[in-house]
Chains A and B, each alone.
Chain A
Amino acid sequence: MYNPDVLYPPFWSVSQVYRALVAFPIATFTLTVVTDLAYLRTSNLLWLHFSEWLLLAGLVVGIVAAIYLGIICLVQRSRPSWLHALFGIVALILAALNSFIHTADGWTAVMPYGLATSIATVVAMLLAGWFGRWRHAHD
């Protein structure tokens, strides 16, 4: 019997790989809010650079996760809630936008639009997670 609460299923599954991939953007985009706030608090450009690299890393793996999800949807009959996909893509678009905002040289890279976009990205990820229940248990 399939138990959705099992932390480590006894064998690798399709959805487990997806969860492993989305862990990257979840961690990096959340940390971007923290490093943005650290920059605003200290004016130390180190934190701005952290935000830039975190956004880049999250985007790269996030796009891989999105492509992976797309392939599953095409190959298997099951698919996640369309709201999950929608908010996931919104989060990626916001993060891409945020990468460009963060290329500014200094304060205006974060204040005000950089930080606002970082927070909006996390909100979009939370919504994607909220609607992340798979419609059909397929593993």
Chain B
Amino acid sequence: MTRALAYRASVLALVAAIAAGCNGEGDFDVSQQIGPDPVLPEPSSSLIPDLKVAEVVGWSDGQTPTVPDGLTISAYATDLANPRTVHTLPNGDVLVVQSKAPPDKPLNRPKDVIRGFIMSMAAGDAGGDKETNLVTLLRDTDRDGTVDERSDLLTGLASPFGIAWHEDTLYVAAADAILAYPYQLGQQEITAEPRILTPLPGGPINHHWTKDLALSPDGRFLYASVGSNSNAGERGMEAEKGRAAIWQVDIQTGASRVFASGLRNPNGLNIHPETGELWTVVNERDELGPNLVPDYMTSVRDGGFYGWPWSYYGQHVDERVHPPRPDMVQQAIAPDYALSSHVAALGLAFTNDSAMPDAYRNGAFVGNRGSWNRNAFNGYKVIYVPFTYGKPAGPAQDVVTGFLEGDEARGRPVGLAIDGTGALLIADDAGNTVWRVAPADGTVAPEPIPTDRVTAAPEEPGTAMQPPSPPEPGNAAPPQTDVAPAVSPEDGAPAPQTE
């Protein structure tokens, strides 16, 4: 009798010992992983993944994030429903894209069930039952930094994230397609039905579902980010076709190709105003330890492959992905600037020509939504990375903090943009607020700078409208599987047979 009880007790003790013995995190200085050359420790695996999720409590009246001297912060819009993206149109109107993850992701493993629960905790439901998946227009008519008119431009969308405007058309990236709506600047509502510019890889898995958009400086192309369908390829490579990539989409025809790949979860697409290069922030993989792999910000090369899933930060092989592909690892490009591990960088905004004080005038703000796969919090703030000649130059500084209070999150910064007056806007998806960070002296930019700056005149319509010429025999492009795991459905379609 007592013996049986002793058995039970020993089981409990052992289980407790296993759980408690999981890893003590040493004193790792996170700042070693911010910059062009991050310190990368050896991968560590623990039985139970490191986990620390901040409970979302929301902002009480009058509470705001904290900013350093010389800046001031105010709530630009409240009572939103999971705002993810802020975008400034050429006339200074601000669009706020609000959305939540698409439902009904298939669960393959016992782990998926637990993971879904953790992610819902991290997202919080401070928004209550408010209807999300909409685009709201905010108008600051007198350019004094407060919203004077507000209206819901589009509702009932399918998990929208990216948004762009060019030549009387509003492009919205839903979770599975880029939609094009006729829209003239100043309009307060959209009633027209959209056309599908191009489909993007969507469900049913759609693990990293946020599709961001940026317009090329010549106005010819949209860049669309498509995140991976898994952490490190554990849904199989057939689930990754066209994913972990940035697509280039012809704005006239919708024709698309994979512009760059091996980017696990790219967001915050932006064109650098000086160089015209495409930049993105990327969320790197989990479960290799609390200090792997650093999320990063990088310029994106045409045809570039950045390692996912076979390697990280250049050519550091991820042993989990099998069969190994040394040929792919060899091609992997190391990104430009590490932001440290698990910060969940999702927003990026260049500050050139903004109204920000000189200290923040030539560089990028990065919105770090905050960690969960780590036993000490990292992220939960907006940082500033100074640039010189279009490249990051110098350490990052914390600019907007106070999203985290103890073990509770009041909000989580996601998308960033410079508003029509040259101040910084922050979409806070857990706090359901858009924050405005402005110079304390009230400086206002002389004229609105749109989020997508079209600098070069587009080509003559005649040439742009021409259908793509059929590929010349013997001069076919190499199959995209040779350069990247990403193969878009269109690109993968068999070529018409010609005799």
Contact = CB atoms under 8 A, between A and B. Distances in A.
A92 interface: yes
A97 B4 CA distance: 22
Contact of A74 (B4, B109, B110, B319): B4
Nearest to A85: B7
Interface centre among B48, B111, B231, B236 (most CB of A within 10 A): B111
A96 interface: yes
Interface in B1-53: 1, 3-4, 7-8, 10-11, 14-15, 18, 45, 47-49
B236 A82 contact: no
A97 to B, nearest CB: 7
Main secondary structure of the interface of B (DSSP, over half): loop
A45 B3 contact: no
B301 interface: no
A105 B232 contact: yes
A99 interface: yes
Interface string B428-462: 00000000000000000000000000000000000
A93 B4 contact: no
Contacts of B4: 70, 73-74, 79, 85
Interface stretch (A2-10, A13-21, A25-33, A49-57): A49-57
A107 B319 contact: yes
A100 B49 CA distance: 9
B418 to A, nearest CB: 38
Contact of A105 (B10, B47, B230): B230
B234 interface: yes
Contact of B45 (A52, A56, A96, A108): A108
A85 B7 CA distance: 8
Given A49-B108, A85-B4, A107 B47 contact: no
Contacts of B48: 100
B322 interface: yes
A89 interface: yes
A45 to B, nearest CB: 5
A108 B321 CA distance: 9
Contact of B18 (A82, A85, A97, A107): A97
Contacts of B11: 89, 92-93
A104 interface: yes
23 contacts: A44-B236, A45-B235, A45-B236, A49-B108, A49-B109, A52-B110, A56-B110, A73-B3, A74-B1, A79-B4, A93-B14, A93-B15, A96-B15, A100-B47, A103-B109, A105-B230, A105-B233, A105-B320, A106-B232, A106-B320, A106-B322, A107-B319, A109-B320
Given A43-B322, A74-B4, A105-B232, 15 more contacts: A43-B323, A45-B234, A56-B110, A82-B3, A85-B7, A92-B11, A93-B14, A97-B47, A100-B47, A101-B47, A103-B111, A104-B45, A104-B287, A104-B320, A107-B321
